[in-house]
Amino acid sequence: MSSMVDTGEPTRLQRIWQSNMAYSFRRNPVAVVSLVIFLIIAVMSLLAPVIAPFDPYDPASIDIMNSEYPPAWVEGSEPEFILGTDDQGRDLWSTILYGTRLSLIIGLCAVGLQAFLGISIGLIAGYIGGRLDNILMRLADIQLSFSTLMVAIIFLAVTQAMFGSETFNQYAIFFLIAVIGVAEWPQYARTVRATVLAEKRKEYVDSARVLGFGAGRIMVRHILPNSLSPIFVISTVQVANAIISEASLSFLGLGMPPSQPSLGSLISSGFDYIFSGSWWITAIPGVVLVVLVLVINLLGDWMRDVLNPKLYKG
């Protein structure tokens, strides 16, 4: 019964559990289910080397003779391969685990890069204002007027041609992170700028200036922590977008190589076989991708509702 004893001073964990946000989270079954599914996918994919029965990156463990076995519940399957095998004889279950891991890593790193660029630019534009603000925001407008995919396709096609397929395939993950990261920074920059414009009129900023703090310190330590809620919301949505962008690029053959497939390249490689009856190579990774993106978006929706002060009913 020790949990029933009130210890007086709540621990940090208890405080988080009792906060408004945690309360609204517990009351929202969609958010709870989304988070649970997301965590399952994330943990399993991160533990891929431990969980997966085969190593899809190891050519020695792949036998071309095993190719195109259907999933276990379909007739003609091999019990060894639960979700069947792909066209090269790789175990689909292992490949999906590894592929999801790649997709998640690319998504998160790309959003990290976007956030870094966008937040820095947004803070500077919003805080300093004037001509610099104008220049930076017009740059953002120009960037936004090109679609992400178009920029990415041009960039990746050029780099592929420049470095050759071999080198490109080796560093594809970095190219993808860079191009998705750079292409979407204006989303952050605009949101952060708008928040900073509102925050910098507040008196705590005046009082920080009066206390003799420099512009950099005021931006990073005073304004940024007060602008975090929109950043959180946009980050979840952007992770989902980045995963989709990566999948699209890989599907178009400009992303991860078939030897190290992400979800997108897996879907793409299976697409050639969909009419010959091997639907599972495309369909199963497709379902994983859709579920992953859906739960991230649902979490983002919930977060937007909670953090939006206009919708807050105290």
Length of the chain: 314
Sites for another protein among residues 276-305 (CB under 8 A):
none
Among 204, 232, 271, 312, binds another protein (CB under 8 A): 204
Contact status: 213 vs another protein (CB under 8 A):
yes
CB of 191 to another protein, least distance (A): 18
Q: Which stretch binds another protein (CB under 8 A): 113-121, 190-198, 216-224, 252-260?
A: 216-224
Among 70, 101, 222, 293, binds another protein (CB under 8 A): 222
Sites for another protein among residues 124-143 (CB under 8 A):
129-130
Contact status: 25 vs another protein (CB under 8 A):
no
Contact status: 217 vs another protein (CB under 8 A):
yes
Among 210, 275, 310, 311, binds another protein (CB under 8 A): 210
Per the CB < 8 A criterion, the answer to whether 281 and 86 are in contact is yes
Q: Which is nearer to another protein, 164 or 216 (CB)?
A: 216
Among 35, 194, 208, 307, binds another protein (CB under 8 A): 208
CB of 54 to another protein, least distance (A): 48
Q: Which stretch binds another protein (CB under 8 A): 180-188, 214-222, 234-242, 249-257?
A: 214-222
DSSP assignment, residue 4? Answer: G
Mind giving me the DSSP string for 218-277? IIIIIIHHHTHHHHHHHHHHHHHHHHHHHHHHHHTTSSS-TTS--HHHHHHHHHTTGGGT
Contact status: 19 vs another protein (CB under 8 A):
no
Contact status: 207 vs another protein (CB under 8 A):
yes
For residue 76, the one-letter residue type is G
Among 36, 221, 272, 308, binds another protein (CB under 8 A): 221
Binding mask 184-203 for another protein (x = CB under 8 A): ------------------xx
CB of 214 to another protein, least distance (A): 6
CB of 210 to another protein, least distance (A): 4
Among 206, 271, 290, 312, binds another protein (CB under 8 A): 206
In angstroms, how far is CA 57 from the centroid of its own chain? 23
Question: In the 3-class helix/strand/coil scheme, how is 17-76 assigned residue by residue?
Answer: HHCHHHHHHHCCHHHHHHHHHHHHHHHHHHCHHHHCCCCCCCHHHCCHHHCCCCCCCCCC
Backbone φ and ψ for 257, nearest 5 degrees, come out as -70, 155
For residue 159, give the nearest of 143, 147, 170, 146 by alpha carbon: 170
Per the CB < 8 A criterion, the answer to whether 303 and 235 are in contact is no
Which tokens hold the place of 283?
A: 């369909």
Backbone φ and ψ for 81, nearest 5 degrees, come out as -105, 100
Contact status: 229 vs another protein (CB under 8 A):
no
Q: Which stretch binds another protein (CB under 8 A): 136-144, 215-223, 248-256, 285-293?
A: 215-223
Half-sphere exposure of residue 295: CA atoms within 13 angstroms, side-chain side: 18
* Rounded Cα gap, residues 83 and 76, in angstroms: 12
Contact residues for another protein, defined by CB under 8 A: 129-130, 202-204, 206-214, 217, 221-222, 225-226
